[in-house]
Chain A
Amino acid sequence: MRIKLERRPSPSRTMLVVTPIASVIVTMLIGMVVFDLMGIDGTRAVKDIFLTPLLLSYKWQDVALKAAPLIIIALGLSVGNRAQVWNIGAEGQYIVGALAAAGIGIAAGTAGGFFVILAMVLAGILFGALYALIPAVLKTRWDVNEILSSLMLTYVSYQILGFLVGGPWKDPNGRNFPATAPLAENQSLPLLFSGSTVHLGVLIALILPFVFWVMMSRSVFGYQVRVVGSAPQAARHGGFDAKQTVWIAMLIGGGMAGLAGALEFTGALKAINLGFPSGYGFTAIIVAFLGRLHPIGCLIAGIVLAVTYVGGQVAQTSVHIPNSTAGIFQAMMLFFILASDILIRYRLRIVTAAKPVVAGE
């Protein structure tokens, strides 16, 4: 008996939707078993990581705050990935975006209000996009692999952040701790509900997926991105410029990451210190794949991943598992989603016919 792959006449839309859900469920089941083997109450741990944040209403705002940057970054990355442009430096663009917002805030001094906040957010988008433009230019001009260059620039961005918050932008009243001064109220993003921590960025993260949905499915640009990604020669034949597509895809990816950084800074954290890089830029890669590179998929997957972040903290206190566990769960989900990709185009068939006696050898 063996398993045989059989190509489907056309890709299965059912599998496209079912496999991400199955990946999450399989990850949960494996998690239970592994934790039990490690001597931890597996059912409890998995419940705390995947369900508790949804069941306890006071955890919802935490989930929303974590989900917002993940969704926004993933939206941008999924555009690039569809065009086969692999920007894995979103973390760096996220950092640069936040730094740009902080720079505007510092330059504005005590001034604040709508236009200053708008300028801060726009600066975040602009600088995130510009930072992503470096790998885009290198790729289109000299064919430099964008995976490596965008990642290297993330390591560089850590140092830029370290330099700025430890030097020129250091809070003079901060007891020499390397961090910017906390934002004043008039430079912070407005809250959606007073008394909560849910800021305007969350609303933006809820609206953007629908904007991207229309853009990717209806516009010529969305069509261009999909053609360039699936069949670059056909794109050329259809009159689409591959270089231009790389540029725009990278700019969107970087702009969204920069936006997420600016929103996180102005809405949630209010100050930048050495702990600002949180790995959202990398986790968003998982979000994009779990969401099947579809904008609405990214919205849902962003929430799922945010749940595991919040749930990971819950489980940390309830069953004393380390924080890094959430990361392993996230990577496992990505593995399963990638492993199940094959089911979209192929059918698994179990062949039971006995093999004839081999006489040829």
Chain B
Amino acid sequence: MSLDFIIAAIITVVGLTTPILLAGLGELVVEKAGVLNLGVEGMMLIGAISGFGVTVMTFNPWLGVLGAAAGGALSALLFGVLVLSLNSNQVATGLALSIFGTGLSSLIGLSFVGRIAAPFGSIFPASLAKHPILQVFFGYSPLVYFALIMVPLVAWFLKSTRAGLILRAVGENDHSAHSIGYNVIGVRYAAIAFGGAMAGIGGAYFSMVITPMWAEKMTAGRGWIALALVVFAGWRTGRLLAGAYFFGILMALELYAKASGFSFLPSQFWAAMPYLMTVVALTFISSRGNVGASAPACLGKPFLP
């Protein structure tokens, strides 16, 4: 195994990991506030098309990222209005958001088929970003660094800030938080919007970095993997990072297996691998019996003051 191969492999894994890491971080915050938003896949697709669309129209990928965040957040707020203000069932509403996001992104995407988005420039000088070895540190899209910075930032926010403490309190016991005088619904709206923005940026990674083109349903179920990731991580930021890389490696295996033509197993086996492994990983984590205890106590429960 040559050094070049290892470097290429690392770069592939990092690329595959970033979108689920972004979406997973967002969902982690949402779930910590006691809300289960199953619409991650839909929000990612809406983020993917809005990021792509803005980039194509403005020729500025940075504005595109803002567009993706806004698109994801807006669609998340739609979910928020239903589950928070109208007290609808969170599971069903999340599913609806996924279906809606898939449809809406396809419709908007029609006018963008065949277009190519302006790529991100590297944030590091070419001598580093294109260096045969150092590119393993400096050769990524800015979104990769953004995702990696967000991990400690989210961890710090949840653990050490007062706002994070309140957010966890709202997810732990909404009625207590309300009776002390916190605005449960407001905190949850904010968390949902953040989760949507992160999912949107995660989705934009597909349409702006992985392939700078739009295709229907291009997130291919990664939103659901991001949801599984949060459970897998036991609602902890550090474990989320580790879990995201675990799935990233699995998905990279699929690519390499296909490319190298392992003929003893059909390509479909490798394509099914990440999804199968998600089920296996969930089973493994759940069978250790501590999932229920580490989940935020109010997760998925409706709240009416």
Q: Which of A114-159 contact B (CB under 8 A)?
A: 134, 138, 141-145, 147-149, 151-153, 155-156, 159
The segment out of A196-204, A264-272, A281-289 that lies at the interface is: A281-289
Q: Per-residue CB proximity of B104-147 to A under 8 Å, as 1/0?
A: 10110010000000000000000000000000000000000000
Q: Are A138 and B103 neighbours in the complex by a CB distance under 8 Å?
A: no
CA distance A133 to B106 in the complex (A): 33
The A interface is mostly helix, strand or loop, or mixed, namely helix
B253 within 8 A of A: no
Q: Are A342 and B282 neighbours in the complex by a CB distance under 8 Å?
A: no
CA distance A322 to B105 in the complex (A): 12
Nearest chain B residue, comparing its CB with the CB of A340: B86
Assuming the contacts A156-B275, A330-B103, asked whether A144 and B96 have C-beta atoms less than 8 A apart, the reply is: no
The segment out of B60-68, B167-175, B197-205, B265-273 that lies at the interface is: B265-273
Q: Per-residue CB proximity of B263-305 to A under 8 Å, as 1/0?
A: 0001011011001101100110011010110000000000010
Q: Per-residue CB proximity of A254-275 to B under 8 Å, as 1/0?
A: 0000000000000000000000
B82 within 8 A of A: yes
CA distance A291 to B283 in the complex (A): 33
**Cβ of B210: which chain A residues have Cβ within 8 Å of it?**
none
Tier of interface size on chain A: 35 or more
**Cβ of B283: which chain A residues have Cβ within 8 Å of it?**
138, 142, 144, 149
Nearest chain A residue, comparing its CB with the CB of B231: A145
**Cβ of B304: which chain A residues have Cβ within 8 Å of it?**
5
Q: Per-residue CB proximity of A276-299 to B under 8 Å, as 1/0?
A: 000000100110010000000000
Contact among A144, A167, A322, A327 with B279 in the assembled complex (CB-CB below 8 Å):
A144
CA distance A134 to B227 in the complex (A): 19
Contact among A160, A162, A332, A338 with B88 in the assembled complex (CB-CB below 8 Å):
A338
Assuming the contacts A148-B227, A156-B272, A286-B99, asked whether A143 and B292 have C-beta atoms less than 8 A apart, the reply is: yes
Q: Are A142 and B287 neighbours in the complex by a CB distance under 8 Å?
A: yes
Q: In angstroms, how far is the closest chain B Cβ from the Cβ of A78? A: 12
Q: Are A142 and B286 neighbours in the complex by a CB distance under 8 Å?
A: yes
Q: Are A327 and B106 neighbours in the complex by a CB distance under 8 Å?
A: yes
Contact among B86, B228, B275 with A341 in the assembled complex (CB-CB below 8 Å):
B86
Q: Per-residue CB proximity of B74-96 to A under 8 Å, as 1/0?
A: 00001001100011110111011
B206 within 8 A of A: no
Q: In angstroms, how far is the closest chain B Cβ from the Cβ of A215? A: 23
CA distance A148 to B231 in the complex (A): 10
Assuming the contacts A151-B224, A339-B82, asked whether A331 and B99 have C-beta atoms less than 8 A apart, the reply is: yes
CA distance A160 to B267 in the complex (A): 11
Contact among B38, B96, B110, B275 with A155 in the assembled complex (CB-CB below 8 Å):
B275
A221 within 8 A of B: no
Nearest chain B residue, comparing its CB with the CB of A282: B99
B246 within 8 A of A: no
Q: Are A334 and B282 neighbours in the complex by a CB distance under 8 Å?
A: no
A240 within 8 A of B: no
Q: Are B279 and A159 neighbours in the complex by a CB distance under 8 Å?
A: no
Q: Are A339 and B86 neighbours in the complex by a CB distance under 8 Å?
A: yes
**Cβ of B107: which chain A residues have Cβ within 8 Å of it?**
322, 324-325, 328
Q: Are B278 and A148 neighbours in the complex by a CB distance under 8 Å?
A: yes
Q: Are A338 and B275 neighbours in the complex by a CB distance under 8 Å?
A: no
The B interface is mostly helix, strand or loop, or mixed, namely helix
Query: Which of A134, A155, A332 has its CB near the most chain B CB atoms (within 10 A)?
Result: A155
Q: Are B100 and A143 neighbours in the complex by a CB distance under 8 Å?
A: no
A335 within 8 A of B: yes
**Cβ of B99: which chain A residues have Cβ within 8 Å of it?**
282, 285-286, 327, 330-331, 334
CA distance A155 to B272 in the complex (A): 7
Q: In angstroms, how far is the closest chain A Cβ from the Cβ of B273? A: 9
B221 within 8 A of A: yes
A163 within 8 A of B: yes
**Cβ of B276: which chain A residues have Cβ within 8 Å of it?**
152, 156
Q: In angstroms, how far is the closest chain B Cβ from the Cβ of A298? A: 15
Q: In angstroms, how far is the closest chain A Cβ from the Cβ of B286? A: 5
Query: Which of B99, B110, B220, B287 has its CB near the most chain A CB atoms (within 10 A)?
Result: B99
Query: Which of B275, B278, B287 has its CB near the most chain A CB atoms (within 10 A)?
Result: B275
CA distance A332 to B221 in the complex (A): 21
Query: Which of A144, A285, A328 has its CB near the most chain B CB atoms (within 10 A)?
Result: A144
Nearest chain B residue, comparing its CB with the CB of A329: B103
CA distance A234 to B89 in the complex (A): 21
Nearest chain B residue, comparing its CB with the CB of A86: B91
Nearest chain B residue, comparing its CB with the CB of A163: B268
Q: Are B291 and A328 neighbours in the complex by a CB distance under 8 Å?
A: no
A88 within 8 A of B: yes
Q: In angstroms, how far is the closest chain B Cβ from the Cβ of A233? A: 15
Assuming the contacts A155-B272, A163-B268, A282-B99, asked whether A338 and B286 have C-beta atoms less than 8 A apart, the reply is: no
Q: Are B96 and A163 neighbours in the complex by a CB distance under 8 Å?
A: no
7 nearest A-B pairs in the assembled complex, by CB-CB distance: A327-B103, A331-B100, A324-B106, A159-B268, A159-B272, A328-B103, A338-B88
15 A-B residue contacts at CB 8 Å?
A: A138-B282, A147-B38, A152-B224, A155-B275, A156-B275, A159-B268, A159-B271, A286-B99, A324-B107, A331-B100, A335-B78, A335-B82, A335-B93, A338-B92, A339-B81
